[in-house]
Structure 1
Amino acid sequence: MLNCPFMKCEVSVARSQIKKHAKKCKYRPFNCPHCGHKGVYIEVVEIHYQNCTEYPVACPKNCSTKIKRSELQCHVDMACPNTMVCCPFLDLGCKAKTKRSELKKHIDSNAGQHRFLVSSTISELRKENKSQKESQSNLLGATGLLESKVSTLENKCSKLEGDLFSMLHIHEENEAKRSKAVAELGEKNTILESSLSTLSSQYAKLKNNLSATCKENKQLKGTLSVLELKCTSLQTQFGKLKSQMTNATQQVTAKENKMKKLYDNCVAKMTAIEEQITSTIPHANVDKGEYSDDSYLSNCYRKLENSLQAVEEENTELKASLSVLGRKYWNLEKMLSDLQDHVCNSDQEVTSAKQNLLHLLQQFETQAVGPPPQQQQNRNNDYWIHDYRLIAETMKKHNWTLYLKTMAETSTQFPEPVSPVIMKVEGYVKANNSTLFTSHFFTSGSGKYKFQLAISVSYDKTAVPYMSVYARLLKGEYDSSLSWPFVGSIYVTLLNQADNTDHYRMSIWLLESGASFEGGGRVRSGQDNSLLYGQPYFISHYELETTKQYVMNNSLYFNVEATAATKAKNSKDCILS
């Protein structure tokens, strides 16, 4: 038994059968008879024959023809008699399809139809040729017209070239001017940059001055509080000393009257005694109150002199104590006057520091921005007010009184104070039946409506124990662009002047209230609406004057929040003034 001589074959056969097996072994060397590909028998037969381009295959159209695999597609497209082909007169309109072997029969059997298609196609081609000739003649005419237009355009082009050269010359001159202007602007920009750096340093200094001013305000606030306490204690002492001095003066006057009566009684008694002595003892010698014959009278006279001397000494002591009280009264009055002057000077220093700060801020705004154009004046005013309020907010944390004064000035310093604003009302008198009006202000929200507040102080506190607050529409600059009647809300807060707590807030005009139609009409005649709308019982006089420090230095402070709505409801019911 021997192994097969071919590598992949694992069969063992007898030596006598080895040659016969080698001729039929599937792993024997074998070349493709069609293309000459070399390999083993099983690989060539089972794998290579499936992809061999020279291997003969049958026609897929069943025409009983075997042809090389590489030429099969060409045979099917060009020579196979069973392939379906279109009629050669397809472009003329015949859409029939038939086998290639029957194509001649189809042409012969449909010769008349094909001739008709050829003749109709020829007639269409003649018509098309004629139309193309007409189009060509039209194009020739149009070409002549275009040539004339081209000549005209050439003339215009030459003229435009001349104009272009002149424009280029002007452009060169303008370019030179522009370069010069750019150079000048560069110099100005350099100057502005230096100015900006200077302004930045000034702004830093202003910040430092502001912080220093805040510290000074804090110190001044502490000093003022101490001085106010001292003034209060001195006023209390002054009142006590004044009452003591009044009592002492009354006591001195009573004792002087008593002493005068006693002296008059003594004089009368002495006169009566002298008359009695003269009448009873005609020869008695009376000299300076000493009686030679009667010791009783002498003792009486001596007692009278002692009592008179005691009264005079008591009177002297009373006069001395009265003089001491007068000196103390004068010293206290001088100390009180000095303290009042010191408080006034401190208040003036705070006001001066605030004015200096405002002046520096105005100077900074003027230098940094420059005078704005007229159309941007209102916008810049809004920015100025916003910055002013930001500065005031820093004061709010350190000095509430100074903050109120500063914010109240914005309602009079700027032409268009927009809500929310702080209003100061001066002239509050407890027993005065009058109406006080604030400066004007504008609403925020959808539109600037012009308003002012009216504060009514009742004369008879027992009959009407309340202070009233009303709102009144004024003729404004934006009335023509607003919707009428006014619909919105106005809230008024009475501010506690001593501290930023315990404020009194109330609505005087609400969005859905009837005031929108009664007092919210547009002012067409005069400067203000004759109708006032608000709260007649805003705050009681007892709470106003006793519980909190709402009234100080005969003044009140109000915070006003006025907002306009988008559109009025039932505008046909509006009562116009």
Structure 2
Amino acid sequence: MATGSGSDRLKSCLYQPPKNSLSSACRQPLGSGIEPLEGGYAEEFVQPVDDKYKCELCHRVLCHAKQTECGHRFCESCLNSHLRFPGQVCPADNDPLDGTEVFNDNCCRKEVLGLMVYCRNAKMGCKLQMALGALEGHLNDCPFQQVQCSRSGCSELVLRQDLSDHLMYKCKYREVKCKYCQKETTLAELKSHENSECPSSLITCLRNCGSRVHRAELKGHMSECPKAEGCCSFSNYGCTFKGTNQRTKDHEKQSVHQHLLLVLFKNKALEEKVSELESEVKEKMTALQKLSSQIQKMEKEMSLTSQSVNRSDIKLNQSQKTLAMHADKLRQVEHELLERCKLEENLKRDILFVKYSTDNLSSRMSTLENGQSTPCLYRGNSGPVSVEHQVAQHDNMLSVHEVRLAEIDLHFQVLETASYNGRLIWKIRDYARRKREAVSGTTLSLYSQPFYTSSFGYKMCARVYLNGDGMGKGTHLSLFFVVMRGEYDPLLPWPFKQKVTLTLLDQGPCKMHVSDIFKPDPNSSSFRVPLTEMNVASGCPLFMTQTVLENETHRYIKDDTIFIKVTVDTSDNPEL
């Protein structure tokens, strides 16, 4: 279904761009490669550019040209920045600018993209000239365009034609092999690799013994280096000698007797320690046996406790079952008590009724005995009681007739305003008051009187939201079409397929009516057989902006009244 706003139709009346004025190539947006972030194009053009292709704000060549109602052209970004604040005027003629009266100037955009420009890399040596629209494609292949090296870590910019030489011979991040271990690394990291990582590079002994060894063998060399300091092999037995490896070897050869004495003393101390540990182990074993016997006793007690717990659980289950039985019996007793209470109340009422009847009979008997009968109670239609009853019946009948007369009068009013040719002219008075009620939420929408496609055709009405509905709430007038349940629906074809035209009538001399035409969607529930008084409304939530509707330039509102016209195509209306 086509939906359109009234402002769009007013734009079409003010400006109509030429059809097919933009080729398929120009319709595609230029990439970010040549489009400026803000303002017009800053390219160097081959010929001087006519002022008609320049923005009235930035005075550069138009980028995404926009044309205002006054006929002047602006860059899209310049105009958006200019209209960011209300009350702006056109810098060319000081006319007020309205953001809603702006149009895409596709014809101008095509002409601008056809202007000849120099390549951006002219200073670098490129002599080519091309249309502005082809500049981006040329820059993607221009040999004089500066591009960044593609290797990770390299941020150097080179000409595209020199990129291959840079990657092969000049880039600091190109892959090279270490001359020692043949590992591949970048040229920038090669020296650091050789100085700190390469396992095959030769390094000098840190103790300045004069030896050069591979980095992988350095750890083993440090332990065997002649200048390495170490302790005597019998340091664990008490020897405190420290020195280089050579002096330590000489010391071990010369101090065999002293080392044996140290070993002997250490052995005696160990034997004493072992005897002490054996005595402690015996004590621990006795204590362990005692603990084992205690554990066995506790296990027996635990088994007995678990058996008693099981017996308690069984007794608890039995008690719960007994309690449940007693609870059921208690409920039954309560139910019986309630029934007896009800029966007792019924008996009391019966007794009171019998007592009342007895008293009444007694009083009547006493009255008869005294000869004071009341013939007016038994005179039939001539007595006062029957007359009052008849008057009450007549009053009831009169009220029923008044309701039926009101319904008939309402039905006649609807029939007088109803049309049977598929057309509705809906007059809505007191627009300002009804608009305030819609804004406050008192009355959100209004329904028109019903109208028909023929005497035995579809029954329909219109529905309007003066303050908008859905996407148009608060900004637009929303207009909808409603299919209602009619008396001849079983004889009509469904779904409803007639073309519908919604129109807001201009009461001024210009007759700039705003219309929207749609063809019903056969799959929508809005156009199927109504199961209630009316189906869901379908139409235009953005039918017309409230600013255009209430603008005094147009005469959509006159004498606080608007007119809405609904036309249903009856050319293929089914005949019964």
State whether TM-score is above 0.5.
no
Higher RCO (C-alpha 8 Å, min separation 6): 2
Higher helix share: 1
TM-score by length of 1: 0.24
Q: Which has the larger radius of gyration?
A: 1
TM-score by length of 2: 0.24
